[in-house]
Amino acid sequence: MDDQLARLNRLPLRDDLRGQHPYGAPQLDVPIQLNVNENTHGVPEEVQEAIVDAVRSVASGLNRYPDREFTQLRTALAEYLGHGLVPEQLWAANGSNEVLQQILQAFGGPGRSALGFPPTYSMYPLLAAGTGTAYLKGVRADDFELTAGSAARQVRDLAPNVVFLCSPNNPTGTALGLDVVEAVYEAGEASQAVVIVDEAYAEFAHADTESALALLPGRTRLVVTRTMSKAFALAGARLGYLAAAPEVVDALRLVRLPYHLSAITQATALAALRHRESLMAEVEEIKHQRDRIVKELERMGLEPASSDSNFVFFSGLEDPQRIWKGLLDAGVIVRDVGIPGSLRVTAGTAYETTAFLTRLEELLAAEGRLPVA
């Protein structure tokens, strides 16, 4: 990596990109992959078939550019989200990462700033760097909570142009109350901050957790981002989207590349939306495995955070690196997010979750923390 950095530095690279590291979650060939919060339950066969049929039906027209406005997809997404949304309020791109990048291209950029509240999604600072936006690091309480009062005060003090609220938060998994979103929006009035609520994991939330979609009416600077990478098991297809005021969508048209959403992506997303029943059944099973992980980790004397997502962040480890390596040696990869005493694990299938829990318990027992199972 150092050699690579030295080589990069000999290039006429933008000064603000020097010394930056690319996104780099390990992509290892490991049997049980619980490290990047993918949907571990795979694409149901019925959905696979619908996608193949949909892609076949557009294949003969691939000599033409796709529908630049992806009207059919925006209509289907508006219908899926409900909340009285209309297609003019929907926008999509190649993953919510690209949606977030477009928001920064339009509302951030040189001389402007974006505020995030670490620990949070690791791409926010990278997207800020790529668009020449200054990234401001807000603070959370010691238990990673973010209250309405604290968040609003920081927004007033720092006067950012863009605010990232990740709910449920990655890597901690906990959702924000809508009071936080409301308070941040109000506090952002002075700097006219665009407030992004990143709801990548919304479908995994507990029944009483509300979506910020409910707050969209009357709030022109509020943007709610979603993705089909998680609940819809389509991380490989790359389809992220947002709901916001129609004028926000108009602003994004100024920065998107022409025809950025391929006909294949549009057809794939539409097919998955049409077959969402079987996908949502899998979501319920993933939530069950997540709740099982939380319960089992508590039993082992660890401290799992409350999770509204498809992953669990847990603390109370003496040596997380050793546990990470011990799990990897047994063919299970989880994520070390660099927070002392902690790791993050994605909810797997019943088999994968059992393998993770069993190996973890053995490793803790070897440390003398648990009676041997």
Ligand X SMILES: Cc1ncc(COP(=O)(O)O)c(C=O)c1O
C-alpha closest to that of 293 among 328, 332, 246, 249: 332
199 Cβ contact partners less than 8 Å away, ≥ 6 residues apart: 167, 168, 211, 212, 213, 224, 225, 226
Site for ligand X in 283-342 (CB under 6 A): none
Residue 93 CB, nearest approach to ligand X (Å)? 9
Using an 8 Å Cβ cutoff, are 40 and 348 in contact?
Answer: yes
Residue 96 CB, shortest distance to ligand X, in Å, is 3
Question: How far apart are the C-alpha atoms of 218 and 265, rounded to whole Å?
Answer: 32
Contact 144, 120 (CB under 8 A): no
Alpha-carbon span 248 to 243, nearest angstrom: 9
198 vs 361 by CB, closer to ligand X: 198
> Between residues 101 and 289, which has the closer beta carbon with respect to ligand X?
101
Give the full edge-to-edge strand order of the sheet including 343-346.
Answer: 303-304, 311-315, 343-346
CA 280, CA 194: separation in Å to the nearest integer? 31
**Treating both helix axes as pointing N-terminal to C-terminal, what angle do 320-329 and 350-366 enclose, rounded to 10 degrees?**
130
Establish if 87 lies at the interface with ligand X (CB under 6 A): no
Does position 96 interact with ligand X (CB under 6 A)? The reply is yes
Q: How far is the CB of 121 from ligand X (least distance, A)?
A: 4
Residue choice 40, 41, 76, 95 for contact with ligand X (CB under 6 A): 95
Query: CA–CA separation, 308 vs 373, rounded Å?
Result: 29
Between residues 345 and 363, which has the closer beta carbon with respect to ligand X?
345
Count the site residues for ligand X by CB under 6 A: 13
By C-beta, is 229 or 307 nearer to ligand X?
229
Return the residues of window 185-224 that contact ligand X according to CB under 6 A: 198, 200
Tell me the window of 95-103, 255-263, 264-272, 275-283 that interacts with ligand X (CB under 6 A). 95-103
Find residue 241's DSSP bridge partners: 92, 226
Three-state SS at 258: coil
Least spacing, CB of residue 13 vs ligand X, in Å = 25
37 contributes a contact to ligand X by CB under 6 A: yes
The string over 286-308, giving b where at least 16 C-beta atoms fall within 10 Å of a residue's C-beta and e elsewhere, is: bbebbebbbebbeebebebbebb
Nearer Cβ to ligand X, position 109 or 240?
240
Q: Does 39 bind ligand X (CB under 6 A)?
A: no
Kindly identify the residues of this chain, within the stretch 145-174, that bind ligand X according to CB under 6 A: 166, 170
Q: Which is nearer to ligand X, 106 or 197 (CB)?
A: 197
Of 229, 265, 268, 353, the one binding ligand X (CB under 6 A) is: 229
Binds ligand X by CB under 6 A, chosen from 235, 251, 255, 339: 235
**Is residue 299 within 8 Å of residue 74, measured between CB atoms?**
no
Among the candidate windows 94-102, 175-183, 205-213, 295-303, which touches ligand X by CB under 6 A?
Answer: 94-102
- Taking CB under 6 A as the binding criterion, the range among 93-101, 258-266, 289-297, 324-332 that sits at the site for ligand X is 93-101
Is residue 121 within the footprint of ligand X (CB under 6 A)?
yes
| Residues engaged in binding ligand X (CB under 6 A) | 37, 95-97, 121, 166, 170, 198, 200, 227, 229, 235, 240
